[in-house]
Structures are given as structure tokens and as C-alpha cells.
Structure 1
């Protein structure tokens, strides 16, 4: 699917992003259900990925303004825990990341949770539908003004994250760069992060950990974490859509910001951020691009009561789904993502 949706996204990415920037918010975005509000048992509730939580907060505001039969609410990846997602629900540990979101979805029923946010693709062993709505890319960030070169090859990144390259003076394939004698500090996001699993998979790394990795695993896409302070040798995977939203579209706030990190980098000579059009590079290597998803139980999608609620929000636009229609396309680009066109809302099985 990736190569097909990639072409669809490229055709309108720049124009859509410019439009999206002009509609960067549609009212105040929610972060968790509003104080004093507990979603009804019949509402649609999501949790999981940090990468798309800001977008889902904005979607909640915009969708609920249309007065749907079942409103949509979303719980952030971090905050107080446990949470009671909706009226009558079982209290659960707050899911932080794609993996925890999917696990929570499948360990409970729609009386507790309806959707898992996921920035990783379909995985085996779950009777779920993975429903894509936008395209993202994952690159790397370094400390602003630090020791890392502007460009790293895929081989460099693989070497860094497999610990075969541990010093900047081992990077010899970057023209004009003479690496200092300084130890590289590879950092990965928290366990369960879809960005972490996708980035490592793109580098053909299957190990769950490596001895040279920093023991601290900060929240994904947050350069404000204390581990980065003064760390001139840091290397960290980063969602480029999330970065665009933070840098250009006013979507960062509090700790959800790029902080001391810099994503104005390249992989294999391919610039990550198109600074002229304020989007991520539409010609970025396919290896590092991905769809982002809402995950639902297959049984819920087919259910006579739960199915229509989910489909009103997530289904293909030709079937009346809100998220894949024109009303939401500018919202998608205003959060730094690229649209999928006709591929939005397709169903991919998790098993």
C-alpha cells in the first residue's frame, strides 16, 4: 500500500499544507476529555500513540462540533494513571504508545475503549482492523549545533543503532565532515512506541535493545526531555509530521515540543524538511515513510450497534466517513501529516 498511497499524497501535499496552515486550529483542541466531562458509554474513545494524539485532540474538537450521534474523545499517552475512559468503563493503566494502545484495545471491550491510535502498521495476532488516515515519515534529530553531521546515510544510522559505529570520527562518508573524537549517544523512545519500532525496522534492526543505547527512553517526539539537555552527541528518531506540526503549525505545547533538537537533517542525502513549503520532503525515501492508523476490533466494525458509530468517524469518504472526507483533509495537513486520498479508510487485517 505504501507506494500507492505515497503517490496520492505527493500530488497535493504542498498545496494542502499551505491551506492547512491557514486553518491550523478549529477551536481549542482537547487534551483528554474536557475537565468535568466523562464520555458517555455510547461515545467513541481512543488511546495509544503519542505521534497522532495531538491530531486526534484536534479531530475531537472538530468532529464533536458537528453534533454526531456518538462523540469522539481521546486520552493522551501521558498523564495521571489509571484512567476510566468512559462512563461505566473498567479503569485501566493509561496506554502510552501504539503497542500499549493496541494491547489495551484487545484486553477490553468497547464498554471501555473503542480505538487504539497507532503509528505502526498491522501486526499479527490481533483480530483488528488497522485503518489508515494519513501519511507520516520518520527521520532523525540531533542536538542543535551538536557534533552530528547534517546528513547520515542509512548505513551510518544502522551502524549507530547496532553499536558498530560509536564515535563521530568513524563517520567518514559525509563530504566536508570531520567527526570529532566523541562518543555518539543513540537514544530511542519509550518501549511500545510505534515510532521506535518503525525506525528500527526501517534500519533492519530486530534487537529490542543494544548496549550503546542510552538507558533513558524519553517520550517520542519530545526534544524537551531532560536526557537531551546539553547532549551534543544525541541521535533520536523523530516523526517528521509531528515535527512540522510543532515547528510551523503551532501544535506543540508544554513538553510536546522539539526543544533542543534539530530535524533539519538528511538521510542518504535526502532532506527531511522542506523549509520553503513547511512540510516534510515529499521525495523522502519510501523506507522511512509510513501510514498512521486508528485500530478497531473487527467484531466491533461488523457489530450492528458499534459499527455505525465507528464508521461515521473512520470509514472511507465514499461510505460517509468523516475523517476521510474533505472536512478533515485540511485538519490532517495542519498537523503536519500528508493526506492519503482514496487510500484513506481502507481496512487492513491485523492477522
Structure 2
């Protein structure tokens, strides 16, 4: 018997009067600053999480169309290599993932980076402000038509990822499953999705059954998955919705051979009728996503107004929280309403 934990009911608070500028600018999103464009020293530049990079590319397009004093640009998590984030900046290794983005933010100044995209919440500390702007859910995906069942319980998932369940035949609450080893994949160290997923399952070690390959999160196009009918992989459900239903994917940024249209504890991960992730999923599997800024920058007389104009609360005319509801949902995420733009200390 599966136990269903608390349910999350999330509503989209959309102020109709604020939607016009966003809807009008929902055209092609940028991926990295446009070719031939180097962000100015006074522009706002973000790096980090793969999960929210597509959304931030859309924010860049829409916000810059309003001709702000400081434009916003977002560098994708891949491909690997060096980038020069803005004019006059230090050259850095492109940060891939929430942890890498936060580390890069705190290893530089606003002459190089202004924001880290993060799909994990704040750790203890007072270096940065974590500013939530949307809600995501993380579920599981598996090879389309492979040996995984449609539903797994939280107990099943915990057993798979702590390596006490290593064969599909050990899962007995879904009928008779094939006698086949489970290929357990996890994103790279520093991935916010990785840390959130393992935290949700209560796993604090690195078990031996995990595959050595760590595919890019939220992409089922990695060669590691090709033909692997036993693969299982955590997946941002917002990112998946954006890829599958909202046209936000690319050739590589796509589910590929993986399918996240699954269920946990008997609750469907996706609401395929409304083309959103299911707000009845347990709170265990839902999370806020954040823009992370240095606390010193937020209070700085020059840098602070630039950041607040983009990320501040709607009541303070922060553009994203005031005008971005339809943009956020168009990338598969759920909105936060009045909680958007609140400041949470951390690192």
C-alpha cells in the first residue's frame, strides 16, 4: 500500500494588466548573449543552473525589449570551456550547475558576474541573497518503452538510489517486472537537481551502483542513455513540460529517449490535459528556484538598483515578479505570487 504525503496546491497568480509587455516579447529566446554581442560592464549577467537556463534566456529577451538601463544576459551551463561574461571581465570556466554558479559568483565581483541561477535552496551562511521566483517539481524519468514500470513508490525510488534495489524484479508492487539490472544515473556533482533529488530521498552517500557517467541534467539525448532500456534518471518536471509541450527545447536540450510521464506513490507527475506538472505531487518533490546575488551587491548604491529593477518584489516594481507570470508558466514552471522576490540569506 502506498502512502501519499502532503499535497501541494499551487495557483498561478497572474495580474492581467501586467502581462502585455511579456506576452508581446515571448519570441525567440537567447541562448548565451547573441553572437557578436558582449554584455557591457554595467549589464547584469547570470550563470549556473541548467534547469532554469531556458527560462532565463526568455527573461533576457523579454526584459531587454523594455530597454532597461542595464540589460540582462544569461550564459548557458554548456558547452564546457571558458567564457568572458561581460566587457572587461575575467575569463572563467563556464559554470555548469547551481553549485558551480554560486561558487563562481562568490569567487568574482560584479565586474564579472552578477547572478547565479540556482535550483537548490540556500545553505547556512550570510554571503548571498537567494531570491525565489518560481516553483519546480523533480520527478523520475526512464527509457521510453523500457523495463521500468509507470509508477514507483517513494520507497522504491529510495531503494533504487541507495542501491538496496538493483534489479527491476525486486519491485513487487507493480506486478512482475523483468529480471534486469537497473542502470542508475545521476547528474554531476554540484547540480542543484542532483542535490535536491538525493535530499528528497534521504540519501547522503554515494552508493556503488550508480553509473560512473553523469549526464547533463534534464537531457535524455546523452549518448549514455542510447539503447539503455534499464536507465532511470531524475528530471525537472518544469523543464520537461517546457521541452515537450511549450517548444522550449533544442536538438540536445530535449527528453530524447527518456520519458518523465510517470507517477510517484500513485500520483501522476504530469497533468497531460493541462500540460503542466501535477500540483498534487507531494511537497517532498517540489522546490523553489532562485536567482542568487551577493548581499553586498544588493545593498550597493550602484549595483543594487540594477538588480532590484529585475529581481525585486512586485510591490517594489521588480520586473520579473511584477510582469513575468505568463513568461514563467510558458516555460513549464509554476508562479510564486507574493512570495516572488523575497530575500533568503545563504550561500
| Bin for the TM-score computed over the shorter chain | over 0.9
Secondary structure at the counterpart of residue 324 of structure 2: helix
| Unpaired runs of at least 5, structure 2 | 1-5
The match for 2:327 among 305, 326, 331 is 331
Q: Give CA deviations for 1:282-332 in whole Å, capped at 9, x if unaligned.
A: 11100000000000000000000000000000000100100101x211000
CA distance in 1 between partners of 2:12 and 2:72 (Å): 28
The match for 2:198 among 190, 194, 200 is 200
Q: How many residues of Structure 1 are paired with residues of Structure 2 in the alignment?
A: 339
Alignment of 1:309-348 (within 5 A): 309-325=306-322, 327-348=323-344
Tell me the residue number matched to 1:3. Answer: none
Q: Give CA deviations for 1:54-95 in whole Å, capped at 9, x if unaligned.
A: 000000000000000000001000025211100111111000
In structure 2, the CA distance between the partners of 1:165 and 1:25, relative to structure 1 (3 Å rule), is farther
The answer as to whether partners of 1:106 and 1:126 remain within 8 angstroms in 2 is: no
TM-score after normalising by structure 2 = 0.94
The structural deviation recorded for 1:15 is: 12
Secondary structure at the counterpart of residue 331 of structure 1: helix
Tell me the residue number matched to 2:3. Answer: none
1:178 aligns with 2:182: no
Q: Give CA deviations for 1:217-237 in whole Å, capped at 9, x if unaligned.
A: 000000000011111111100
In structure 2, the CA distance between the partners of 1:13 and 1:220, relative to structure 1 (3 Å rule), is farther
Secondary structure at the counterpart of residue 45 of structure 2: strand
Alignment of 1:3-152 (within 5 A): 10-12=10-12, 26-125=26-125, 127-152=127-152
The match for 2:251 among 254, 258, 261 is 254
Tell me the residue number matched to 1:281. Answer: 278
CA distance in 2 between partners of 1:296 and 1:258 (Å): 31
1:169 aligns with 2:169: yes
In structure 2, the CA distance between the partners of 1:9 and 1:52, relative to structure 1 (3 Å rule), is farther
CA distance in 2 between partners of 1:187 and 1:274 (Å): 25
The structural deviation recorded for 1:9 is: 6.5
CA distance in 1 between partners of 2:37 and 2:303 (Å): 21
The answer as to whether partners of 1:98 and 1:119 remain within 8 angstroms in 2 is: yes
| Unpaired runs of at least 5, structure 1 | 1-5
The match for 2:232 among 226, 231, 235 is 235
The structural deviation recorded for 1:190 is: 1.6
Secondary structure at the counterpart of residue 131 of structure 2: strand
The structural deviation recorded for 1:25 is: 6.8
Tell me the residue number matched to 1:244. Answer: 241
Secondary structure at the counterpart of residue 323 of structure 1: helix
CA distance in 1 between partners of 2:14 and 2:320 (Å): 20
